[in-house]
Amino acid sequence: MVRDLTRSHPRCKDELDRLAKILVSDLDRVSAAVVTRVLTEIPELGSPDSETSWETTMASGIGNIGALMSMMTYGVPANAGIEPPEGALEFFRAMIGRGADITAILRAYRIGHAELWNQWMRVVSEGIENLEDLPEILTVSSAHMFSYMDSVCERLVAEYEPERRRQLTSAAAQRVATAQAIVAGEDVDVDSAGARLNYRLRRHHVALVLWPASRRVEAQGTEGLERYAFALAEELGTECPLLVPASRGCVWAWLGAADARRLAPVIAAEPPPAGVAVAAGAVGHGLEGFRESHRQAVEARRVCGLRERPPTDVVHYRSVSLLAALCTDPASAQRFLVSELGELNGPDEATRRLRTTLGTFLEVGSSHARAARVLGIHQKTVAYRVHRAEDLLGYRITDRRAPLEAALLLSAFLEG
């Protein structure tokens, strides 16, 4: 049971009041001793040499010690439901923001309590006027300190999860807003934006757009997509990726590195897991590279959306840049196919084989022999199919080679 300060002997109460005032008069030194011990014994809360860590923890120490002593002086019960001091709440919020868990925060209070008791014992032993009052003073002050610390810690435990969720939500919303501002071309300060994103912008980047390509992955939310982005970053040996949720279950991601060569292997990356689709931009540098690589990844994603089936490999913008230009307007792209291919645009399997053969023939330099080797058929079959394709086109392939190759490329891509 907590000893009631108001029921202590009047002389002891006066002595407590006097001794508490002695400690409060030296509050800065006492708080500094408490803070030094806390930061030394719990390095994850920050270093005593860090100005930010020191100021935040000092504000908490001064607030808590001042409140505790004032309550003891005026006989206010330590568990009276008084709100923790603002400095203590700022320390609490700052520690959560740095990733400290509730265990570390409560340990800081226990260590701080131990050091405060040492400081209080020093004041009492040096300043007490009547040694007969010592047992009563120590009993009452100890009970008061323990009760105050218990009350504050109970409140912090209750507030930890709501505050952590609030900070996570706030930080996530800030990252989304900042990334959207950058890719929209808004004028932003690169260092401030990088701090909000927790991602360094003054380096090389590769942007990705990830989206679910199966109902199983879609049901997982963004978990499967984010897992792949982290796995790719680990494979490349880069820092953690920047991940930003986008619309319709998509995720925007950026991988960053000081050396552009570290990002080059994205081109040869292993296929993503089943159900995960990925589009990638080219390597860019700085804020503009961050923005342009994302634009390219979004374009590659848009082109993939025109296909009959989702991609199974990472789709790089460089491999579909021509298609992206051709498919700016999907309706116009379809009209282009019909106009250029005519009857060769038919959906049946025989006509598809003619398109494939003609496309391969043009790709290998109009060589029947090379096309035959690539396709694994006789070169006379290649010659027949090319001739048959020209009949369906209604013109010789040498007459409109460039638009014909573009149309065949587009057709092959859309068919998946």
pLDDT confidence of residue 79? 65
pLDDT confidence of residue 78? 65
Could you tell me the pTM of the whole model?
0.56
- Most trustworthy range by pLDDT among 4-8, 47-51, 397-401: 397-401
pLDDT confidence of residue 319? 85
Residue written as token pair 């920050």: 46
> Picking from 83-92, 185-194, 283-292, which range would have the lowest pLDDT averaged per residue?
83-92
pLDDT confidence of residue 80? 60
pLDDT confidence of residue 311? 87
Q: Which of 163, 201, 44, 194 is nearest to 111 (CA)?
A: 44
Q: What is the pLDDT of residues 206-243, one digit of tens each?
A: 999 999 998 888 888 888 899 999 999 988 888 889 99
Q: Residue 202 — pLDDT band, cuts 50, 70, 90?
A: very high
Neighbour-count burial of 207, counting CB atoms closer than 10 A to its CB (0-12 exposed, 13-18 middle, 19+ buried): buried
Kindly state the average pLDDT of the residues 28-34.
Answer: 91
pLDDT confidence of residue 168? 67
Amino acid at 54: W
Residue 312 has pLDDT above 50, yes or no: yes
pLDDT confidence of residue 91? 84
pLDDT confidence of residue 7? 47
pLDDT confidence of residue 203? 94
Q: What is the pLDDT of residues 112-130, one digit of tens each?
A: 999 999 999 999 999 888 8
Residue 2 has pLDDT above 80, yes or no: no
Q: What is the pLDDT of residues 329-385, one digit of tens each?
A: 778 878 888 888 888 988 889 999 999 999 899 888 889 999 999 999 999 999 999
Which H, E and C letters describe the chain, residue by residue?
Answer: CCCCHHHCCHHHHHHHHHHHHHHHHCHHHHHHHHHHHHHHHCHHHCCCCCHHHHHHHHHHHHHHHHHHHHHHHCCCCCCCCCCCCHHHHHHHHHHHHCCCCHHHHHHHHHHHHHHHHHHHHHHHHHHCCCHHHHHHHHHHHHHHHHHHHHHHHHHHHHHHHHHHHHHHHHHHHHHHHHHHHHHCCCCCCHHHHHHHHCCCCCCEEEEEEEEECCHHHHHCCCHHHHHHHHHHHHHHCCCCCEEEECHHHCEEEEEEECCHHHCHHHHHCCCCCCCEEEEECCCEEHHHHHHHHHHHHHHHHHHHCCCCCCCCCCEEHHHHHHHHHHCCCHHHHHHHHHHHHHHHHCCCHHHHHHHHHHHHHHHCCCCHHHHHHHHCCCHHHHHHHHHHHHHHHCCCCCCCHHHHHHHHHHHHHHHC
Q: How many other β-carbons are positioned within 10 Å of the β-carbon of residue 7?
A: 9
Distances from the Cα of 227 to the Cα of 210, 223, 241, 323, 367, angstroms = 11, 6, 11, 29, 45
